[in-house]
Amino acid sequence: MTVSPLLYIHGLNSSPASSKARILQAVMQRIGLAGQLRIPALHHHPRQAIAQLQQAIAELGRPLLVGSSLGGYYATFLARQHDLPMLLINPAVLPHRRFAGYLGEQCNHYTGERWWLDETHVQALAELEVPPPEAPARCQVWLQTADETLDYREAERYYRACALTIEAGGEHGFAGFALHVPRLLAFAGIAAEHWRHLDFSAFN
């Protein structure tokens, strides 16, 4: 199996300092494959974020897209455009249809950056809408039912033709993510000999 580099795509008002990003960084460092992981700090505007991700894909070749929340929406667009595999974690579904009540000042939870969410963001997100994917061997979607930010049932419906994992409970950040990382590594084609010795609970 060909090993895919990993392109982690964080969500709205998130960053490479988020919990899942840090766990992935720590795991890849531990198994000696840190160079196979890219986690760009995305601009808040979708057009600039997509430009950053297009550049990362060009540099990495054919990565596995790992998208969280809004990053899952970006990954869905990019996977279709470049015919790439993707793994989505509590992904946002058609977010441009949800932002009507959220326009205005925003603050990045990790960097403290303040910015203004306006109609140009909404329009840019609308331009990224694509049909639901239909390739379960190339699209995994992980959902937790107690996601406090997004209704998991929307993703369950939209990604119904993908390989779905739905866990009861949890949270938007995906509780227990580290314990699922072996599945992510296997999906990327990274042989178990690299990571089977690790105690993944220690990364949570």
| Three-class SS of the chain | CCCCCEEEECCCCCCCCCHHHHHHHHHHHHCCCHHHEECCCCCCCHHHHHHHHHHHHHHHCCCEEEEECHHHHHHHHHHHHHCCCEEEECCCCCHHHCHHHCCEEEECCCCCCEEEECHHHHHHHHCCCCCCCCCCCCEEEEEECCCCCCCHHHHHHHCCCCEEEEECCCCCCCCCHHHHHHHHHHHCCCCHHHCCCCCHHHHC
Class for the domain spanning 6-203: alpha beta
pLDDT tens readout for residues 38-48: 999 999 999 99
pLDDT for 99: 76
Is the CB of residue 143 less than 8 Å from the CB of residue 155?
yes
Q: What residues contact residue 149 under an 8 Å CB cut-off, 6+ apart?
A: 69, 90, 172
pLDDT tens readout for residues 104-160: 999 999 999 999 999 999 999 999 999 999 999 999 999 999 999 999 999 999 999
pLDDT tens readout for residues 52-105: 999 999 999 999 999 999 999 999 999 999 999 999 999 999 999 887 677 899
CA 191, 2, 192: angle at the middle one, nearest 5? 5
Confidence of residue 1 (pLDDT cuts 50, 70, 90): low
Confidence check: pLDDT of 11 > 60: yes
pLDDT for 201: 94
pLDDT for 156: 98
Q: Sketch the domain layout of the chain as residue ranges.
A: 6-203
